[in-house]
Amino acid sequence: MIEFKNVSKTYPNGTKGLKNINLKIEKGEFIVIVGLSGAGKSTFLRSINRLHEITEGEILIDGKSITATRGGELLKMRRDIGMIFQNFNLVKRSSVLRNVLSGRVAYHGTLRMLLGMFPKEDKELAFQALDRVNMLEKAYSRADELSGGQQQRVSIARVLAQKAKLILADEPVASLDPLTTEQVMNDLKHINEQDGITTIVNLHYIDLARKYATRIIGLRAGEVVFDGPVEEATDEC
Ligand code: ADP
Ligand code: ADP
């Protein structure tokens, strides 16, 4: 589903974020990227949906180069990619429901969404998504009234409503306590297993990676230092 071909990223100041990455990710995998702070995890993830531009090589999604795609075609490709952030990226003063509906923007355009003109089917999708992360009863709460773990579950509902085929989660549990961390990781894992959504998660902790991943990719200084099944991952990777 995803292929990195000779991918490198050098930041304008000369820092190398990624160095000649070559790998393939198949549909339905649950991949955890591990590595110390500065290893390149975020650069790796954000290169896939072009939040960061790579400087060499190409990234293919279903055989099509996203790194060479522009304009409307790029927007269409991004529709299939859901992003989850450490700080949740919700509109704080909006309701939970509105936040989940914003996952539909890529289909209807921003103007219609600003005017609150959501098709009935979208609302149904949003409620279904909230139900799956156990947040249905908070649909009309303001996002900033929720705990961190609850906000992250809303952001998972948002990518479900988006009908993403690929989920990129950049340190989704870094600001959560151990209990809510498990809830968020379990939600991501269930969605991966039930819907077959390919999922790539960046994590600091190898223990958490071991518990959830089907495959672990270890990065160090922008290079892949480990890539394999969970059983083979050592503490160093
Ligand atoms: P991680 O997510 O593993 O913490 P990053 O992908 O954020 O790592 O960073 C990889 C490397 O690129 C680090 O050396 C970091 O300092 C550098 N880096 C990240 N973003 C920028 C930027 N905007 N400008 C310059 N260097 C950056
Ligand atoms: P988490 O365990 O996700 O880090 P917190 O420790 O911040 O969350 O919150 C614990 C509980 O307090 C949660 O059940 C949440 O519903 C509630 N809570 C947190 N922040 C707020 C808030 N701003 N307004 C109302 N309730 C809140």
Among all bound ligands, the one having the nearest atom to the CA of 142 is: 2
Give the sheet arrangement for strand 56-61, strand by strand.
Answer: 16-25, 2-10, 56-61, 64-65
218 in a domain, yes or no? yes
- Nearest-CA residue for ligand 1 atom 7 is 42
> pLDDT 10s per residue in the chain (237 long)?
999 999 999 999 999 999 999 999 999 999 999 999 999 999 999 999 999 999 999 999 999 999 999 999 999 999 999 999 999 999 999 999 999 999 998 887 777 766 777 888 999 999 999 999 999 999 999 999 999 999 999 999 999 999 999 999 999 999 999 999 999 999 999 999 999 999 999 998 888 999 999 999 999 999 999 999 988 887 765
Give this prediction's pTM. 0.88
Among all bound ligands, the one having the nearest atom to the CA of 92 is: 2
For ligand 2, say whether the CB of 148 is within 6 Å of any of its atoms: yes
Residues 144 and 182 in one domain: no
ipTM score: 0.70
Residues 217 and 187 in one domain: yes
Domain range for 192: 1-62+165-199+211-223
Name the phi and psi angles at 43, rounded to 5: -60, -40
Residues 130 and 181 in one domain: no
183 in a domain, yes or no? yes
79 in a domain, yes or no? no
Residues 154 and 194 in one domain: no
Domain count for the chain: 2
142 in a domain, yes or no? yes
- Pocket perturbation via mutation, ligand 2, pick of 147, 152, 176 by most ligand atoms within 8 A of CB: 147
- Pocket perturbation via mutation, ligand 1, pick of 42, 47, 205 by most ligand atoms within 8 A of CB: 42
80 in a domain, yes or no? no
Tell me how far apart the alpha carbons of residues 84 and 61 are, in angstroms, rounded to a whole number.
Answer: 19
